[in-house]
Amino acid sequence: MSPPSASSSWALVPEHLFTEFLSLLPVKSLLRFKCVSNSWNTLISDPNFVKLHLKKSKSHNPQFTLITHHVQNFKGESEYGSDDEYEVDYSIIPYSIHSFLDNPSFTLFADHHYLLNEKDCSGVAGSCNGLICLSGFGFSATHTFDHQTYEYWLRLWNPATRAISEKFGCFVDSGGFGLNFGCDNSTGTFKVVASRYIPDKLTSDVRVFSFDENVWRNIQSFPVVPFNLMGHASLEHDAVFFNGTLNWLAVRNDIPYTWYHLPPDNFTVEQFVIVSLNLGTEIYNMYTLPQGFDEVPPVAPTVRVLGDCFCFSYSYKETDFIIWQMKKFGIQESWTQFLKISYHDLQLNHDFSSRTLKYHLYFLPLFLSKDGDTLILYSSQELEVILYNWRDHRVERTQVNVHKTIIDEGTCTNSCWHFANGFVESLTSIC
Amino acid sequence: MAEEKSQASSSKMLTLKASDGVLFEVELNIAKEMKTVQAYIDDCEDIETIPIPNVLGKHLAIVIEYIKKTNEEYDAEFEKQWNMDDLQLLLLAANYLNISGLQECLCKAIAKRIENKSPEYVRKVFNIENDHSPEEEAKLRKEYKWAFEGVDKD
């Protein structure tokens, strides 16, 4: 490529055009270009530029975070491996959805700065505007066998800029809290909701941490307690953030339960409901599920955001996987069946009549391609995710190998696709 | 009758005169993609020749071809033919003529060309003076050391 011309008249180009093409650059390039000049440094740090860049990033470069699990084996002295030790760690790695769809077989390197343990965190509360809210918990200072209390904390992390906050939002309580992160769309304030089920009182403890107030506040309990409330600040968070609300699946019942291996007895579809917490008003709404959802599925259904739509999906009999879209969020009449994918179409080679499989085969629709034609689908029976183009009925298998970049002897790494979530790269500051 | 009329208006030709005097005859619907030209037509209906004082004939030709052929495939190949100087002049043309699709295509192209370059290269291309103090620059380079890895050699 010929060297740039020294006589080029870029000075004639108005600033708004510079902003246009700069806002299309990846974060890494922009951080490097802060060195170019004072005015470029000022522009790149400007909150309006950051907002414009985020907007472009969302539409041009949707990403996801792949969570990988590392187990390092330390051989002990015993012949029988009884004193072998294991160190478990996780990485959270952003990756482009387009790149994945273009080339679904690749090797990913888990760079050091994606590791969770060294951040002293063990879970993810959620992600918003390019920021990931991490969570951690440990025995509190006053923890005893008889009085088990834990300390919970949060850390805000931008994997693209590599900035990470100190621990904040700390609280001490007996265990069982699940944490969920979101944003109040009307004010742009980030919030974290901590919740747990209290079996003794048949109710739930729900509290909110608002980033502008910097304190935890108790709010009303869930009107219907969500099933499978995730406890202990895990990588799997139970609520789905959408458009300023956090949403959980729940079942109206006298006693909440956990859906382990079999759907509870005496269950009807009418009992299912979506509990939605508006992060602005901190008020709950409840939404019913599509009319077409007429049979209790063998495995717990899920809610998820696909493309720009809030979706509800489940396994149907032993033959299909169905996804509904709530075209207009909050309007129950707007539920529209999006996809009905037959297992046969997915070219799965399993004996679906087997009882073991019936109650364990679990699908999770992860992401949609930009044009909406290709679905990235997780299946519990497959090691890797499946790409399904529903227009062409084309199935493509994937192969993602992950290695830690720092060579560890004997580390085994696996992808946890069921923890993968949508992500967008941004310059958003963690302050 | 109505059909004939619409046919007549869609095949109406307009003349665009570039800054160096080169004349281009284009169909009305092509010319309308340039919002600046559209505004000109709205103001003076009977106009037949529209002056485009800021754009050279060479670049106006490229712009007109772009409007005629634009689609995903064409756009992907389009930007590869031009060097940075051409891209700059085309960007100014697209901005003056107010053609959003072309502007977006060119911005993507420019971003792609500089994405993996060093700050020195960028300064040279855009003729920007480095007004950072050595301490400021050193501080930034240290803070974002990792952002300098894997950058194209100048």
pLDDT digits (tens, 9 = 90+) for A155-196: 999 999 999 999 999 999 988 899 999 999 999 999 999 999
Size of interface A-B (CB pairs under 8 A): 93
Measured in whole angstroms, how far is the alpha carbon of residue A192 from the centre of its chain? 14
Selected for mutation to probe chain B from A35, A38, A53 (highest B CB count within 10 Å) is A35
Residue A36's pLDDT is: 96
Buried-state track A223-245, b at ≥16 Cβ within 10 A, e below 16? ebbbbbbbbbbbbebbbbbbbbb
* Rg of chain A taking only CA atoms, in angstroms: 23
Per-residue model confidence (pLDDT) at position A314: 94
Q: How far is B47 from chain A (nearest CA, A)?
A: 30
CA distance B48 to chain A (A): 30
CA distances from A299 to A197, A237, A296, A361 (A): 22, 18, 8, 7
Q: Does A14 lie at the interface with B, CB-CB under 8 angstroms?
A: yes
Entry pTM: 0.90
Q: Do B115 and A29 touch (CB under 8 A)?
A: yes
Model confidence at A96, pLDDT cuts 50, 70, 90, reads: very high
> How much is the pLDDT for A300?
86
pLDDT at A109: 86
Specify the pLDDT at position A191.
97
pLDDT exceeds cutoff 60 at B10: no
Output the pLDDT for position B1.
Answer: 46
Mean pLDDT lowest among A178-187, A254-263, A287-296, B60-69? A254-263
> Do A31 and B119 count as a contact with CB atoms less than 8 A apart?
no
* Run of H or E residues at A21: helix A15-22
Asked if the C-beta of A172 comes within 8 angstroms of chain B's C-beta atoms, the answer is no
Answer yes or no: is pLDDT of A253 > 80. Answer: no
- A59 reaches B (C-beta below 8 A): no
State the pLDDT confidence band at A384, using cuts at 50, 70 and 90. Answer: confident
Mean pLDDT over the full length of chain A: 89
Predicted confidence band of residue A352 (pLDDT cuts 50, 70, 90): low
Q: Which residue of A has its CA nearest to B80?
A: A1
- CA proximity to A100, closest of A421, A400, A410, A423: A400
Residue A97 contacts residue A367 (beta carbons within 8 Å): yes
Mean pLDDT (whole number) for B55-74: 92
User: Of the given ranges (A123-132, A240-249, A322-331, A353-362), which has the lowest mean pLDDT?
Assistant: A353-362
Per-residue pLDDT, averaged over A229-241, amounts to 75
Contact B127 A8 (CB under 8 A): yes
Of A285, A185, A193, the C-alpha closest to A239 is A193
DSSP code of residue A281: T
Average pLDDT, integer, range B118-135 = 94
Q: For B115, name the nearest residue in chain A, comparing CA atoms only.
A: A29
Give me the pLDDT at residue A145, please. 84
For strand A394-397 and strand A399-404, is the pairing parallel, antiparallel, or unpaired?
unpaired
Residue written as token pair 């506040």: A217
State which H helix or E strand residue A17 sits in: helix A15-22
Task: Compare B11 and A181 and report the one with higher pLDDT.
Answer: A181
Is the per-residue pLDDT at A236 higher than 80? no
Residue whose token pair is 């900035």:
A163
Q: How confident is the model at residue A286 (pLDDT cuts 50, 70, 90)?
A: very high
Please check the confidence at residue A284 and state whether its pLDDT lies above 90: yes
CB contact under 8 A, A36 and B148: no
Calculate mean pLDDT across residues A359-373: 89
> Phi then psi for A10, rounded to 5 degrees?
-65, -15
Between strands A189-198 and A178-184, the pairing is antiparallel
Residue A262: per-residue pLDDT: 59
Angle between helix B100-114 and A15-22 (nearest 10): 60
| Cβ-defined contact of A32 to B92 (cutoff 8 Å) | no
Cβ atoms of A289 and A321 closer than 8 Å:
no
Give per-residue pLDDT as tens, A59-80: 999 999 999 999 988 888 887 7
Closest by Cβ to A13, choosing from B83, B91, B121: B91
Which of B88, B89, B152 to substitute to test the interface with A, most A CBs within 10 Å? B88
Nearest-CA residue of chain B relative to A21? B107
Instruction: Give A226's DSSP letter.
Output: B
pLDDT at B3: 46
